[in-house]
Amino acid sequence: MDTSSRTHSQEQFERACRSIPGGVNSPARAFGAVGGTPPFIQRGDGPYLVDIDDNQFIDFVGSWGPHILGHRHPAVIEAIQQAIETGTSFGAPTVSESDLAELVVELVPGIEKVRMVNSGTEATMSAIRLARGFTGRNVVVKFAGCYHGHVDSLLVQAGSGALTLGAPSSPGVPAGCTADTLVLSYNDVAMLRQAFEQQGDSLAAVILEPVCGNMGCVIPTDDFLRTLRQLCTDHGTVLIFDEVMTGFRVDLGCAQAWLGVTPDLTTLGKIIGGGMPVGAYGGRADIMDAVSPVGAVYQAGTLSGNPIAMASGLATLQQLQQADPYEQLEHLAAQLEQGFRKSAAAADVPVQVNRVGSMLTLFFNENPVTDLQTATASDTDRFARWFHAMLDRGVYLPCSQFEALFVSAAHTPELIEQTIAAASEAMQRLSNPA
């Protein structure tokens, strides 16, 4: 399929750029790192996206994670429609908030109590404030290449769009906001031990993506995670897993269940809203009870716990619980991983494929990718050419080397085969550009 005709998208992008900075409401989707014009989406349908030029793409972005069931899953749409009939927002308690909270508590090992917010950024910002309020300490550890939304204190050596667009540490964040942020290297156990030896008793929190997705998919070593858990316990430091991307993605119990390491606090986003704007932070009851109105740590939101968003999230999690698609996702993603590896080998293009369950990144890199330094050694020009060759063949991938793609339960072995065929052609194009 040739999907290179994108006249209407081009017109709409030019129009959008006149009234919206860069034509987009979130920088990661602007094609800044790969060049060209992003397709404007008309609709989603199961594993497909259709743009306004009527091009159909096999979608491996899934709205950057939420659509683990594919687009417009009937159970999710029906739940949203039912909720809309009763109103759109009340700013008062509803039963749906407890329904979703109870299910989250049941599914996620580290969550005894949970507070709903509206985005992943809000969740991590609130979790950091809570950890500081609970411990009475200020210093927070983060890891280079991990991304926790656009929270001032965490926008240091950040991944995702910040890394893609070359601004891992943003202007507009006063030095004072990051003075208490300590940045360490992902998977570096010696550096971690040293930081705790030097200032363990003044560390309020350590926050990390337990499987990183925002410098591309990077997998933690067992030693790294277990050492981190032990050091946090020994020093009374709050361990925060940012599971905005991995939550309900790598396992129904999130990455913490898959890894067998339980954090003190967890932040969630994406799948928990089933495509509606929902974030959440939760964890140990003694810590969560420091949040207002029980405790003194203030956090609030007019639209938090919005009934339509709750209905969408609840339907999504219930569907995951009933259908249990994780084995199917593992098979599909393993098929894709093998296909990508073979297509690269056949074209003599050096790549690394990092994958956990249905999240995967193909790095154009000769060496293993284990942290930010090794991730940024990837050939991003090559990535851009591969990305466009795939898009022209009807495969919609994340538009950055430093993101993970997502397989959904709506994909089929046939669609994965079709994607691998496109990948083989695209790889051949890389080694023989003419």
| Pick 246 or 343: Cβ nearer ligand HOZ | 246
Q: How far is Cα 311 from Cα 205, in angstroms, rounded to an integer?
A: 32
Whole-number Cα distances in Å, 239 to 130, 138, 271: 12, 14, 22
Q: Find the shortest distance in angstroms from Cβ 434 to ligand HOZ.
A: 34
Binding segment toward ligand HOZ, per CB under 6 A, in 25-33, 228-236, 355-363, 421-429: 25-33
| 29 belongs to the binding site for ligand HOZ (CB under 6 A) | yes
Binding segment toward ligand HOZ, per CB under 6 A, in 23-31, 181-189, 294-302, 307-315: 23-31
| Pick 13 or 134: Cβ nearer ligand HOZ | 13
The single residue among 13, 31, 60, 64 that binds ligand HOZ, judged by CB under 6 A, is 64
Which residues, listed in sequence order, are joined to residue 116 by a DSSP beta bridge? Answer: 280
Give the contact letters, 211-230, x = binds to ligand HOZ (CB under 6 A), - = no.
---x----------------
**Annotated catalytic residue: which of 251, 264, 270, 371?**
270
Closest CA to 102 of 263, 249, 321, 257: 321
Pairing relation of β-strands 203-208 and 139-143? parallel
Q: Find the shortest distance in angstroms from Cβ 158 to ligand HOZ.
A: 10
Reply yes or no on whether 54 is catalytic: no
Reply yes or no on whether 270 is catalytic: yes
CB 68 within 8 A of CB 249: yes
Max CA separation in the chain (angstroms): 66
Burial of 27 (0-12, 13-18, 19+ CB in 10 A): middle
Q: How far is Cα 327 from Cα 330, in angstroms, rounded to an integer?
A: 5
| Pick 4 or 26: Cβ nearer ligand HOZ | 26
Give the contact letters, 152-171, x = binds to ligand HOZ (CB under 6 A), - = no.
--------xx----------
Whole-number Cα distances in Å, 297 to 15, 77, 147, 287: 43, 36, 24, 10
**Annotated catalytic residue: which of 59, 113, 142, 147?**
147
Reply yes or no on whether 242 is catalytic: yes
* One-letter amino acid for residue 204 of the chain: A
Q: Binding residues for ligand HOZ, per CB under 6 A?
A: 26, 28-29, 64, 160-161, 214, 403
The catalytic site residues sit at 147, 242, 270
